Structure 1
């Protein structure tokens, strides 16, 4: 059996802004916030359910200033698992409460998704399997 994902890390342009944004989204504080001396980057890490981690990275040698574009080679989006469409509806309310723009719940034969973006335009989604 192929192992599940342990963590996802995204590179951000403004660590303080992104940390505040993700703190509000996750409803929790980061569990780690430090410089990584071996690879020379800074990371802030949030613990999510099921032992998964979500990290924010900044790299001093990075290009800086550019925003995410899923049409470039690399990451397309990150999806968070929801049990069902009702849970997606609750996330619509939460995103609205946080003032986060989103595309509303979109239903397809393979499941339902709620797409939105972080301050660096990184594509995020809540996803639920099809009903029944």
Structure 2
């Protein structure tokens, strides 16, 4: 299998580049690093101190299909990895201070999460990955998931020579 190192960047089509770039800076802590305006598109590239890169862009001819809806084919949501529940509570306070509507801390069985939306209604999450030792799978989960979980929860065995 070819190697993947992670996600390089995320490009989001938005209704207003400047408004979205300001939101990503003010709410999410990103820094604007590039601004491009061409005849058929406009974009603003932003980078977070964690290394996550997001570009917000508009295209000529983008349909005015209304706000983002995860029930359409395409992106469902973006989830950002948060270290622990304390940091998640910090996000609740931060979002409250900025007046950003959010779900509060919820857990739907995958780990503590906060759900909120950007100015174009794109669903975002701050998510705490559960420790594999604390995870349980059901019969509905794939055999591959069971194998991965077993590998993550069993101690590594040193090879004796």
1:62 Cα shift?
Answer: 0.8
Match of 2:77 in 1: 77
| Bigger-Rg structure (1/2) | 2
Tell me the TM-score normalised to structure 1 length. Answer: 0.88
Number of corresponding residues:
130
Are 2:76 and 2:123, in contact at CA under 8 Å, matched by a contact in 1?
A: yes
Say which structure, 1 or 2, has more relative contact order (CA 8 Å, 6+ apart). 1
Q: 1:52–1:28: structure 2 CA closer, same or farther, 3 Å change rule?
A: closer
- In the TM superposition, structure 1's runs of 4+ consecutive aligned residues that sit over 6 Å from their partners are none
Q: Does residue 64 of the first structure (1) align with residue 97 of the second (2)? A: no
Q: Does residue 35 of the first structure (1) align with residue 37 of the second (2)? A: yes
Tell me the TM-score normalised to structure 2 length. Answer: 0.73
- Tell me how far apart the structure 2 counterparts of residues 69 and 99 of structure 1 sit (CA, whole Å): 22
Structure 1 runs not aligned, ≥5 long: none
Provide the aligned C-alpha RMSD in A: 1.8
Are 1:109 and 1:130, in contact at CA under 8 Å, matched by a contact in 2?
A: no
- Tell me how far apart the structure 2 counterparts of residues 105 and 77 of structure 1 sit (CA, whole Å): 17
Match of 1:17 in 2: 19
Structure 2 runs not aligned, ≥5 long: 135-161
